[in-house]
Structure formats: C-alpha cells, structure tokens
Structure 1
Amino acid sequence: MAGAIQLSHQVATGIFAIPVPIPYPFKYVNCYLLMPGPGSSDGPVLVDCALDTAEARAGLEAALREHGLGFGDLERLIVTHHHPDHYGLAGLIEAQGPTVWMLDVELERGHVFWTEPERMNQMGQALFHQHGVTDEYLADLGQEMTKTRSRVHPAQNPQTFRDGETLRLAGIPYRVVWTPGHADGHAMLLREADGVLLAGDQILERISPNIGIWAYSYPNPLKHYFESLEKTTALGASLALPGHYRPILDVAGRAAELKAHHHERLGYLLDLLKPTPQTCWQVSLELFPGNLNLAQRRFAWSETLAHLEYLVAEGRIKRLEQDGIVHYSR
C-alpha cells in the first residue's frame, strides 16, 4: 500500500530489525527476524519477542505479516536473556509451534524467575530489606511486579544451547557467545561469515545496560560485565545489532566507552561514601538523584548495589551488617 509505514527494515543480509513498542523508557525493543535465503529448507527465526501488551503483540504480528509470516511459521524463537521486554511473549509464541531456545545458564538462573514467582518474590523482598529499602517503597513494589508478571508468559518446554556452540539459524551458522553481566545467562550470536553480532543488551548505543544485583543473580555482576566487554571486543565483530536503539559499527570502541563509564561511576561512588556506614538504598539516592519512578528507582538501587559489591570484592570499601541490615563505608 502506497504510503504505508514499514514495520521492519533490513539491517544486514537476511536480518530484519523489528522495533516493537514497550512501556519502558527505551520505548522500543529490537526483535530480529532471520530469513532463510532462496531455496533453503530452513525456516525463519525470531530473536527476542517483546512482552505481552496489546500494542507490542500487535506491532510484532504486523511486522511478521510484512514477510507473509505469523508466529506459527517461525522455526525457532531465540531468547538472548530472560528480561520481560525480550522474553514476555515466548510462551504464547511457543504454543503456536516454534521451539523456544535460550542459553543453558539462563534456563537455570533467569527463566526460573518467571516459573517460581512466590519464591522469587520472597527472596527479592528479603534482599531489598537487607539493603535498606524503605517499607513504603516495598509496599508499592509488589503491585508493580504483579503487573510485570502478567505481561510475561514463560516457555513451557524451552530448549538450550551452550557457550561456544554453533547454531544453524535460517540456514546460516551462528556462534553462541555467553556474556554475563546484564543477566547471568545473557547470550549473543555471532555470524562469523561476516562478523554480524546479534548483541542483545550487552552493548547499547546511547546508554549502558543495567548491571544490577538481584536476589537470584551472581553476587558480582559488574566483574562479569567487565569480562564480557573484553570478550565482546575480542570477537572482532563488524556490526552489532543491539536490543535497543540503533546498530553499532564500532563495536570495540563502544565496549571501551562502556567500560570507562562504569569505572567513572565507581570513582564517583567512592567519593560519595563516608566513613559513617550507609545502606545501599541511602547511597543510591545520592548516586541517582532526582524524581525517578518506581521501576527506575529499583534499577538505580540494583546498579548501586552491583558497584558497591564490586568495590568490596576489590578491597576498596568495607561491608558490615548491623541488625540484619548491610552497610558500606570507606
């Protein structure tokens, strides 16, 4: 139709980006459709799938229709990590036929967040309380998480791949690259034939991905993220296709910028800390000042905690517990 808005666009040979609207500050998540070449016996593959809102589902379905496809025509859904904007529709898509795949680590450490909600909620509340989050904030948090969980349909029979494994997707080999930090089981996919990297949220164009500690995550995710940035650089990728914002041409340069950003934040955090012990909640209000909404404040707290624990592991600050509440000091 003349003048119709194109809902997907080609970003590399055989790869189409589908920006799907999401109700978060990012505004869109990039899902990627991998289309097999002429004569191939392989089916199309979707990488990531947004979350279940009416707008997101309709947007993703409309973009697939541009290629004559519905969810049932996909051969696989590959999930880079378990966060709701990348995983939410997985169970609904799986029910229409495609198999859902994720890194083996993410099945054990991320997928479980959605399949055991009661245990995860209890663990999360305990961690928030341990690090000084106020009762007033905790009361609102439960309602927010209930809304998020209503938008996520975990896969019922997810399949797994391993770090370093080669997957044949839409007729082309891709190498799995495990990059913990943003999520314990975060995975990228490298098309070694031309260096195109499906990067998930490992590197983003305009901002840093959230590197935070959660009740079910590794205890020092920032250390993992620094290591993952080195791993990303060593790939020699020619183009990174990220989960949000635009493609990245200088992959090594962007990885270096992200590493420098977090070291700068560590230095700023050290300057904020006082000889008098403070909770992570108190420190996060100074590190991330301003009128943040509930979700933003939660991410600010988790990122502050990741940076504090990194400094503890490096022996640069002290961690002590008083009456069940953790405090930090110079």
Structure 2
Amino acid sequence: MDRISLGNDEFEGRNNAYVLADDTDDELALVDTGVAIDPVRQDLREGLAERGYEFADVDDIVLTHFHVDHAGLAGEIQAESDATVYVHEADAPLVAQDPDAVAAVEDRRRQLLEQWGVPAAAREELLGFFESADIEGQPAEPTPIADGDVLEVGGRSLETVHAPGHAAGLCCFETESGDEAFVGDAVLPVYTPNVGGADVRVQRPLEKYVATLERFVDREYDRVWPGHRDPIDEPTDRAETILEHHRERAETILELLGEHGPADAWTISERLFGALEGIHIIHGPGEAFAHLDHLRHEGIVAYENGRYRLQDGSLAVTDLF
C-alpha cells in the first residue's frame, strides 16, 4: 500500500495519508490528508511530488472521520483540485465547518467538562488550546456516505464500514478482497483510541466502541492500514487486545470506587492518568466518563449528585466486553 507518513506532534503519532492511483484511467485518490499546518502540508506535497502528483491532480478524498489530523487539509486540496470529498454523514457537517454544528459541539463540550467535574483552570486551559491551535484548515464541501456504500476511487472499490466510538462518523474502508481495510483511528497499533473525549457527540461511547471492535474481529482482516503509525499485521489480535484493555480499565475504575468512595469523572481520570495538559484535559475525563457511563447503564454503578458510586460492590465486568 502506498503510504505517505505525515508529521504530527500533538495527537497519536505520525499520521498516514494513503495514495490510491490508477495510471490506466488517470485516477488519483487520498485516504485522509493530515492536519492543516505547514510541516504536514509540506510532507504531503512532497510525498505526492515524489509520485509525480500535486494537490491539483487529486480526484477523490476519502476521510475516515472529521478529526483535524485526518481531515484538516481536505478543503485546501479540494479548492485546488475540485476533488470529491467523501465522509460519513454524521461527520459531514463538521468537515464542512457548518456554524451550527460547530457551535453545538462547543456547547456540548462545555457542558460535559462541567458535568465531569473538570476544574475551572483546566477548562480554561483546554479552551485556550482549542482557540490557539489554528489547525482547522479550510472547510470542504463533502459528499456524505453511509455504512455499506461502495466508493470507486483511485481504481479501487472500497466498502464503507461504519465504526463509531472514537468519532460518531468514523469509518473503515474495506478493499475489494475483503482481507484488508483502511481503518483510521478505529484500531491503532500503539495507543488505544480515545473514547468519550474525542467526540463529545457520541452517546454511550464505550458501548458503541465495543460493538465496533466486535464487528472488526468478526471481519477477520489479514492486515489493516491505520490512521497513525505502521500497518497492523494481526488486526484481530490487536482488536482483542484493546477489548481486554477496556475490561481491565473498567475493573480498575471499580476498584478505585471501592477504595476511595464516590467520585466524578475528573477525579477518576486523575487517579488513572495523573496530571493532564493540552488536548488530554478532555481525553482523560472523557475516557473515565465513557467507562463510568457504561457501568451505570449496566447497573454496576449509580450516579448521584455528579458522582458515581458502586451499586452492589460486584467487580464482574467480563460480560460487558
């Protein structure tokens, strides 16, 4: 698979943009684009130039999800090439930077930060990070897609496999053989994708992500191409490892509640991850919340006055994952 590795110092390690080219029909497609900052823009331009292309030659852009480290340059490339930008219908308004959709996310984020018990100083630091980052890039005019849609791009047929959890509209794109897929941040080779904080629109984020991982396991891919770092040669094993990680984290959270008593998501986050800064101010309590929310819906913990407490003292979480 033809991969351009893109610089990224802020998120989960170097991003990938995948180049799909059909010289016979002169078709060029990208899967993801990287964040809209000069070093990454230069990485992508140089990577395309090494292959004999420039932004203006791109016919199609396939986005795994709306996050800026995956979709940031899509609008800029589209402006130069008139490329079609495909993204799941749930994420299309954010890729288009629709003001109402953006405002709804910002409002939801503020509400959740307060609900999770994030201190005012940390909330201000996080909001300052978002305001100063300047990484949104140009808006694109996306073509919405849905689970099961087949895209004919770069001389390939890619089947859309909706994989929510990390983001509401995250999708994998399965190749014609069914043995491989571009998976964005659904499964990563080093880190576990954040759930809860990465997309505050997602209701019951851990439940959705667990279902995504189970669907992923069922498809039994031979190899997958993630949004960050190197390809994953044993993707089923990796997905099962991430499921086990979430089982263990849920058990740890229950042990913390048993040892220290009722707590809000921020307090649990501090006990899990320690001090947080930058984007992790939302990722940490968001991850804690995703687990606490899942445990609450399953009747293992109760939620009262902004804090979670053990419902019955049981640490049996195996059946939840």
TM exceeds 0.5? Answer: yes
With structure 2 as the length reference, what TM-score do the two structures score?
A: 0.90
Distance 1:229 1:194 in 2: 17
Contact 2:164 2:170 in 1 (8 A): yes
Match of 1:30 among 16, 21, 42: 16
Aligned to 1:141: 126
Match of 2:5 among 19, 22, 26: 19
Q: Note the 1:92-107 alignment, pairs <5 A.
A: 92-96=76-80, 97-107=82-92
Match of 1:188 among 166, 172, 175: 172
Contact 2:180 2:224 in 1 (8 A): yes
Q: Secondary structure at the match of 2:152?
A: strand
Distance apart, 1:134 and its partner CA: 0.6
Q: Note the 1:43-192 alignment, pairs <5 A.
A: 43-96=27-80, 97-107=82-92, 110-111=94-95, 115-116=99-100, 117-148=102-133, 150-192=134-176
Q: Secondary structure at the match of 1:95?
A: helix
Mean CA deviation greater in 298-307 or 153-162 = 153-162
Mean CA deviation greater in 263-272 or 120-129 = 120-129
The verdict on how the C-alpha distance between 1:75 and 1:214 changes in structure 2, with shifts beyond 3 A counting, is: closer
5+ unaligned residues in a row in structure 2: which ranges? 311-321
Q: Secondary structure at the match of 1:294?
A: coil
Q: Secondary structure at the match of 1:26?
A: coil
The verdict on how the C-alpha distance between 1:181 and 1:243 changes in structure 2, with shifts beyond 3 A counting, is: same
Mean CA deviation greater in 249-258 or 268-277 = 268-277
5+ unaligned residues in a row in structure 1: which ranges? 1-11
Deviations 1:286-330, CA, capped at 9 Å, x for gaps: 0112x4322223211111111110111111000123xxxx21111
Mean CA deviation greater in 178-187 or 98-107 = 98-107
The verdict on how the C-alpha distance between 1:180 and 1:118 changes in structure 2, with shifts beyond 3 A counting, is: closer
Contact 1:213 1:221 in 2 (8 A): no
Contact 1:204 1:243 in 2 (8 A): yes
Q: Which amino acid aligns with 2:126?
A: L
Aligned to 1:9: none
Distance 1:27 1:242 in 2: 11
Q: Which amino acid aligns with 1:21?
A: G
Distance 1:264 1:212 in 2: 17
Q: Which amino acid aligns with 2:209?
A: Y
The verdict on how the C-alpha distance between 1:156 and 1:53 changes in structure 2, with shifts beyond 3 A counting, is: closer
* 1:271 aligns to 2:255 (yes or no): yes
Q: Secondary structure at the match of 2:6?
A: strand
Match of 2:235 among 237, 247, 251: 251
Distance apart, 1:154 and its partner CA: 5.0
Distance 1:303 1:113 in 2: 25
Q: Which amino acid aligns with 2:35?
A: L
Distance apart, 1:114 and its partner CA: 6.5
Aligned to 1:286: 271
Match of 1:328 among 308, 316, 319: 308
Q: Which amino acid aligns with 1:305?
A: F
Distance apart, 1:252 and its partner CA: 1.1
Q: Which amino acid aligns with 1:329?
A: R
Identical aligned pairs, as a percentage? 27
Q: Which amino acid aligns with 1:241?
A: W
Contact 1:102 1:158 in 2 (8 A): yes
Distance 1:112 1:127 in 2: 24
Aligned residues: 307
Q: Which amino acid aligns with 1:228?
A: T
With structure 1 as the length reference, what TM-score do the two structures score?
A: 0.87
The verdict on how the C-alpha distance between 1:115 and 1:87 changes in structure 2, with shifts beyond 3 A counting, is: farther
Distance apart, 1:25 and its partner CA: 4.9
Q: Which amino acid aligns with 2:187?
A: I
Contact 1:127 1:215 in 2 (8 A): no
Contact 1:173 1:192 in 2 (8 A): yes
Q: Which amino acid aligns with 2:207?
A: K
Contact 1:87 1:154 in 2 (8 A): no
Mean CA deviation greater in 91-100 or 60-69 = 91-100
Distance 1:296 1:224 in 2: 21
Match of 1:302 among 286, 291, 301: 286
Distance apart, 1:131 and its partner CA: 1.7
* 1:236 aligns to 2:226 (yes or no): no
Distance 2:68 2:209 in 1: 20
Aligned to 2:319: none
Distance apart, 1:216 and its partner CA: 4.2
Distance apart, 1:234 and its partner CA: 1.8
Q: Note the 1:211-230 alignment, pairs <5 A.
A: 211-213=195-197, 216-230=200-214
